[in-house]
Amino acid sequence: GAVVSQHPSWVICKSGTSVKIECRSLDFQATTMFWYRQFPKQSLMLMATSNEGSKATYEQGVEKDKFLINHASLTLSTLTVTSAHPEDSSFYICSARDRKNNYGYTFGSGTRLTVV
């Protein structure tokens, strides 16, 4: 089945630095990728939708200059948390949709970000 590889699985960074999270679709072309954030004991909150070759669409309240999304190819999307602060500490998960599979939302394994 479809596989999305997400890296890193966890990262600890200092406040003020930037962190890049990668999601790769391994065996299909992901024309659309979704990025979610999940705080402890809460559900997944959609941050943005990225379509290959175009600008990402951000959900209300999500700072596009802080959470940079790049979807330059059909198999790779990246999320960069710029100038991270402790309140950005969260579980970040990507999801890709395979156009051939109507209900093929495939999730990455998630990235646990801790900002100290």
Partner 1 sequence: GQNIDQPTEMTATEGAIVQINCTYQTSGFNGLFWYQQHAGEAPTFLSYNVLDGLEEKGRFSSFLSRSKGYSYLLLKELQMKDSASYLCAVSAMTTDSWGKLQFGAGTQVVVTP
Rounded to the nearest 10°, the torsion over CA 42, 38, 28, 31 is 100
Q: How many residues does the chain have?
A: 116
Q: Which stretch binds partner 1 (CB under 8 A): 12-20, 29-37, 71-79, 81-89?
A: 29-37
- Cβ contacts of residue 61 below 8 Å, gap of 6+? none
97: contact with partner 1 by CB under 8 A: yes
- Cβ contacts of residue 40 below 8 Å, gap of 6+? none
114: contact with partner 1 by CB under 8 A: no
Strand order in the sheet with 19-25: 4-7, 19-25, 76-81, 67-73
Closer residue to partner 1, CB minimum distance, 47 or 115:
47
Closer residue to partner 1, CB minimum distance, 48 or 81:
48
By CB under 8 A, the residues from 49 to 78 that bind partner 1 are 49, 51, 57
How far is 1 from 106, CA to CA, in rounded Å? 9
Q: How many residues bind partner 1 (CB under 8 A)?
A: 24
- Output the smallest distance, CB 50 to partner 1, in A: 10
Residues that bind partner 1 (CB under 8 A): 31-32, 34, 36, 42-46, 49, 51, 57, 91, 93, 95, 97, 102-103, 105, 107-110, 112
